[in-house]
Structure 1
Amino acid sequence: MGAALHLAHVQQAPVKKRRPKRTGGGNGNRFAEIAHRIYQDDRADTRARTLLLASAHAVTMAPLDEETTVWRAICNAIGSSITGWDGLRAEIRHDLPRYMPPGSRWWSDPLDQLCRGPRVRMHPDGPDDFRNKLKICGEKTRDKVVEKDPITGWHTNHFFCTRHRDHLQRVSAQVAEQNAAAPPPVPNSGGLLPSYFDCDWVWMYRWATRNQSWEPPEMYGLRADDWPVPGKDPVPQRARLRLVIGDGGLEDGPHAD
């Protein structure tokens, strides 16, 4: 995704004031370049894009001094939706590298929790009803079989109601061996901050989640740029620009919890 910027190496809350690193001005051309790349990144939802743009503004444009660290500048750029460090924690948690299985995003699948068993009779709502078009039962249910892709480990949910219990058992038997051999799922959410900015992101994600045992996704790492996406070429690896900004200025870090 292009050259990355270094936000901070944040190991603990600063214990003393530091001389200003940048006072006013900034690099408008660099910000415009990064902003263009962020807007073209279809992996970023509105919330992630806001955090990425605020971070880019903080490290290229925002006046930084002894009172306004890069992290405070990020909060200021996002605006009133950020109230203290807990607000910043929430925004960073949203970028947590992870796999989001189907159904974990609200309304991401209109057929979520609907029985996929075959429809025998026409549904009375008419030929244009989705159940008739797809020739599925469509009954609401929570009973499912999870099928894991043998390459990506991604999940496909097959829901069946009580009337189609035999279908559930048959599908479960069919995918059992495949599921056992499937790899850990490739992450499909988050990981954008490390793709744009250099930082101790393991520490930052632990700080954001208040979980000191959190680890990056097995096999795949932190950066969304490094995750394989079926049908797409790998993102080219490019040199990163390091921009060291003091201790980061985060208060109430994990060491204070």
Structure 2
Amino acid sequence: MGAALHLAHVTELPTRKRKRKGGGGGGGDVYDQIVARVYQDPRMTPEARELILLIAWLTARDPNRFDENGNLNRRWRKRASDILGEYGHGPRKQSRLADLLYADRPRYEQPRSSWDAECAAPMIRRKGSCGQPASRETYTIDPETGWHTSVFFCRRHESWGEQLREQRRREPGPEPIPNAGGLLPSYFVGSDSHTDERLAAWARLYTEAAVWKRDRLWEPPKAYGLCADDWPTPGQDPIPQKARLRLVLGGDLDGPR
């Protein structure tokens, strides 16, 4: 990601020889299936789609993916960064690769609030809530999922809103289940003895992209991991792992430099 962010050294591709003529297909089938999965995935975002398709093309279809000895080039990130390019002016140009990685960082995103919410404070002399136009907002935390639910109140019920905040300070709840990002590891990790190493490499990629975007608060989810395929969805059964097709970006894992 530009001269300052050397993501080209984090995860490297496995070495494999170029197929000889007459030796059958060379990965096109996997590429085609990855493309089909991307466009069928309801979780897909424009940023994740752009980067996943590019990585799949670089590993399976790029005419320059082989070196002079017929080996698959082990580092795809510099090639991706060169293709995606930079933008902006001044000494610190912005990196499109950093943008795409940062957009896919695993995280929990609270749903946006309504601008015309009503006060939800319970009334004492009658049943139901206040119902007046709200001017303040706080949230409650689900004790199982950690997800947030916005709660609105008017100026008259500020003390009630403060009680909710105090309850949240006493009972902060569990780490929220992530509901955004995490698609790249879902497509490019695989399941074998090196899975943990590859996930650690993706964590370094996300962290470095966050720093490049001046977000020093982001950190990988501790309880649920990086891979969106592994996150539980409340009220739904998890997707069986055997149903997921992945390309493996493995090889030597040396971390960012």
Confirm or deny a common fold (TM above 0.5). yes
Q: CA deviation at 1:60?
A: 1.6
Higher relative contact order by CA 8 Å / sep ≥ 6: 1 or 2? Answer: 1
For structure 1, the residue ranges without an aligned partner over 5 or more in a row are: 1-7, 14-18, 104-108, 119-133
Q: CA deviation at 1:254?
A: 4.9
Between the aligned partners of 2:232 and 2:169, the Cα distance in structure 1 is 20
The farther-off stretch of 179-188 and 29-38 is: 179-188
Pairing partner for 2:77 from 71, 91, 98: 71
Equivalent position amino acid for 1:36 in 2: A
1:162 aligns with 2:155: yes
The farther-off stretch of 56-65 and 206-215 is: 206-215
Q: For residues 159-205 of structure 1, what are the alpha-carbon distances to aligned partners after superposition, in whole Å with 9 as ceiling and x for unaligned?
A: 223134355356557xx279716211111111111111024202211
Report the RMSD for the aligned CA atoms in angstroms.
4.2
1:137 aligns with 2:132: yes
Pairing partner for 2:220 from 207, 216, 233: 216
Which residues in structure 2 correspond to 1:117-128 (within 5 Å)?
Answer: 117=120
The farther-off stretch of 177-186 and 49-58 is: 177-186
Q: Given the superposition, is the C-alpha separation of residues 135 and 168 from structure 1 closer, same or farther in structure 2, using an over 3 Å criterion? A: closer
Equivalent position amino acid for 2:110 in 1: P
Q: CA deviation at 1:48?
A: 1.8
Q: Given the superposition, is the C-alpha separation of residues 184 and 37 from structure 1 closer, same or farther in structure 2, using an over 3 Å criterion? A: same
Instruction: Find the counterpart in structure 1 of residue 142 from structure 2.
Output: 149
Q: What TM-score do you get using the length of structure 1 for normalisation?
A: 0.65
State the identity %: 35
1:116 aligns with 2:109: no
Q: What TM-score do you get using the length of structure 2 for normalisation?
A: 0.65
Between the aligned partners of 1:26 and 1:243, the Cα distance in structure 2 is 16
Q: CA deviation at 1:51?
A: 1.5
1:88 aligns with 2:97: yes
Instruction: Find the counterpart in structure 1 of residue 53 from structure 2.
Output: 53
Q: Given the superposition, is the C-alpha separation of residues 137 and 169 from structure 1 closer, same or farther in structure 2, using an over 3 Å criterion? A: same
Q: Given the superposition, is the C-alpha separation of residues 158 and 204 from structure 1 closer, same or farther in structure 2, using an over 3 Å criterion? A: same
Equivalent position amino acid for 1:225 in 2: D
Q: CA deviation at 1:89?
A: 1.3
Which residues in structure 2 correspond to 1:97-116 (within 5 Å)?
Answer: 97-103=106-112, 109=113, 111-112=114-115, 114-116=117-119
Q: Given the superposition, is the C-alpha separation of residues 193 and 113 from structure 1 closer, same or farther in structure 2, using an over 3 Å criterion? A: farther
Instruction: Find the counterpart in structure 2 of residue 233 from structure 1.
Output: 237
Q: Given the superposition, is the C-alpha separation of residues 22 and 210 from structure 1 closer, same or farther in structure 2, using an over 3 Å criterion? A: farther
Is contact 2:104-2:184 (8 Å) kept?
yes
The number of equivalent residue pairs is 213
Is contact 2:109-2:178 (8 Å) kept?
yes
Q: Given the superposition, is the C-alpha separation of residues 85 and 39 from structure 1 closer, same or farther in structure 2, using an over 3 Å criterion? A: same
Q: Given the superposition, is the C-alpha separation of residues 179 and 170 from structure 1 closer, same or farther in structure 2, using an over 3 Å criterion? A: closer
Q: Given the superposition, is the C-alpha separation of residues 26 and 219 from structure 1 closer, same or farther in structure 2, using an over 3 Å criterion? A: same
Between the aligned partners of 1:82 and 1:246, the Cα distance in structure 2 is 31
Between the aligned partners of 2:188 and 2:10, the Cα distance in structure 1 is 16
For structure 2, the residue ranges without an aligned partner over 5 or more in a row are: 1-6, 20-24, 122-128, 190-197
Between the aligned partners of 1:169 and 1:210, the Cα distance in structure 2 is 34
Secondary structure, aligned partner of 1:36:
helix
Equivalent position amino acid for 2:77 in 1: W
